Structure 1
Amino acid sequence: MTEKTNVTLIDQDASRRAAISHCLAGCGVHAEPFEGLDELTTRWPKGGLFLVHDKGDTIIQLLASMAARGQWMPVVAYEQNPTTRRIVNAVIEGAIDYFAWPTSGTEVASILAEAERKADVIGNAKLREALARSRVARLTRREKEVLEGVARGLSNKLIGETLQISARTVEIHRANMLNKLEANHSSEAIKIAIEASLVA
């Protein structure tokens, strides 16, 4: 890991936070510990990566917070004796790597260094995805439905028929949708929808 990398540790368990922080310090890695996302919002990191205890929907909430800020940072998750399904779900949700705790500080530092290398490769794509999700999150349910129709290449008339609204109403939703997405043309809106994984 590079010396400038900031590691933000999120774990509700104080003793585990202390153990992981101590473990990393022994390898020359400083981790800024936080109990949860609420505490983190007042001191959001400028960069680096997240080391997160995989509990509940913490990873999903963290990624949503990043998307709302238009910022992406790699997430490495951990749990004691995680199942294969849990690891797979965390990676699908957006974790870049996963490990079982407890382990050695050297092992964790190695995993974090690898996550940092992966982040350099995929960071721009993930940042575009975070920005796109942030923009799509501004849309109403109906505006999202119109965007999906536009992305499928449907005309206002066909979108209206599908949603059982008039073509004129579709036009209004379409204009609002383009404005909220900060898109000048439908093609830009479609690109944003694809980057946000709203459509395939």
Structure 2
Amino acid sequence: MMRRSNLLLVDGDLRRRAAISHCLSGSGLHVEPFEDVRELYSRWPSDGVLLVHDSDSAIADLITHMSQTGDWLPIIAFAEAPATSRIVEAVLQGAVDYLVWPFEDAQVIESMAVAEERARSVAGAKLREAVARSRVERLTRREREVLAGVAGGLSNRLIGEKLAISPRTVEIHRANMLNKMGANHTSEAIRIAIEASLVN
């Protein structure tokens, strides 16, 4: 049985939003309409599946937002008569499925099941990597070097020797690194570095 029954509809076209809401009214899904991604950001839900009209940079903007916040929701993109290249681009950006409007409620329910399953596997892994990368990007070059040393199992003294700085300076960089990454301890920083593909 599918866990998510909330469908978060993001579409700038009022008539199409109304038509989709009407189409899904008897499906048992709770449809919450949003005019654009900015409105969605201001009332970010704790759960659900996003059904997003593939216009402008909506998909890319949502993926960036979720990467920065760590709040992941699976995205189903849709459009009227989309070009194949547009579908491919949306999926590469992170959409887990793509529908062509007009669609039936059964298609949406099936797509939500697919989205839920993929969100648990591939999409979740991609998001973790994106979140980890955004955390690592906050670090200075020197802090990244210290992180690489820590991940390599080196002590502060050995990292200092390798980088030609004092162990005390390594400690300062290490503390700054943990703070910027939002990590409470070294093992968490190493996990983030692995997820960001910074270390193997």
TM-score (norm 2): 0.74
- Distance in 2 (CA, whole Å) between partners of 1:147 and 1:33 is 46
- Distance in 1 (CA, whole Å) between partners of 2:150 and 2:85 is 32
Are 2:46 and 1:49 aligned? no
- Distance in 1 (CA, whole Å) between partners of 2:92 and 2:147 is 22
Are 2:146 and 1:184 aligned? no
- Distance in 1 (CA, whole Å) between partners of 2:14 and 2:114 is 26
- Distance in 1 (CA, whole Å) between partners of 2:6 and 2:161 is 50
Q: 1:44 to 1:188 in 2, by over 3 A?
A: closer
Cα deviation digits, residues 48-70 of structure 1 (max 9, x gap): 11111112221222123223332
Structure 1 residue ranges without an equivalent (≥5): 161-165
- Distance in 1 (CA, whole Å) between partners of 2:63 and 2:191 is 20
Q: Which amino acid aligns with 1:99?
A: L
Q: Which amino acid aligns with 2:104?
A: S
Kindly indicate whether the alpha-carbon contact (under 8 Å) linking 2:178 and 2:185 is maintained by their aligned counterparts in 1. yes
Instruction: Name the structure 1 match of 2:95.
Output: 95
Q: CA deviation at 1:136?
A: 3.5
Instruction: Name the structure 1 match of 2:35.
Output: 35
Say which one has the larger Rg: 2
Residue 41 of structure 1: SS of its match in structure 2?
Answer: helix
Q: Which amino acid aligns with 1:19?
A: A
Identity of aligned residues (%): 47
Instruction: Name the structure 1 match of 2:63.
Output: 63
Instruction: Name the structure 2 match of 1:82.
Output: 82
- Distance in 2 (CA, whole Å) between partners of 1:9 and 1:108 is 11
Kindly indicate whether the alpha-carbon contact (under 8 Å) linking 1:10 and 1:52 is maintained by their aligned counterparts in 2. yes
Residue 50 of structure 2: SS of its match in structure 1?
Answer: strand
- Distance in 2 (CA, whole Å) between partners of 1:136 and 1:62 is 20
- Distance in 2 (CA, whole Å) between partners of 1:41 and 1:28 is 25
Q: CA deviation at 1:97?
A: 1.0
Cα deviation digits, residues 127-148 of structure 1 (max 9, x gap): 64465355335x1464675478
Kindly indicate whether the alpha-carbon contact (under 8 Å) linking 2:136 and 2:196 is maintained by their aligned counterparts in 1. yes
Q: 1:194 to 1:19 in 2, by over 3 A?
A: farther
Residue 8 of structure 2: SS of its match in structure 1?
Answer: strand
- Distance in 1 (CA, whole Å) between partners of 2:143 and 2:7 is 35
Q: CA deviation at 1:92?
A: 1.9
Kindly indicate whether the alpha-carbon contact (under 8 Å) linking 1:10 and 1:51 is maintained by their aligned counterparts in 2. yes
Q: Which amino acid aligns with 1:8?
A: L
Kindly indicate whether the alpha-carbon contact (under 8 Å) linking 1:146 and 1:174 is maintained by their aligned counterparts in 2. no
- Distance in 2 (CA, whole Å) between partners of 1:115 and 1:125 is 14
Residue 24 of structure 2: SS of its match in structure 1?
Answer: helix
- Distance in 2 (CA, whole Å) between partners of 1:36 and 1:150 is 44
More deviation, 104-113/142-151: 142-151
Kindly indicate whether the alpha-carbon contact (under 8 Å) linking 1:148 and 1:198 is maintained by their aligned counterparts in 2. no
RMSD of aligned C-alpha atoms? 3.5
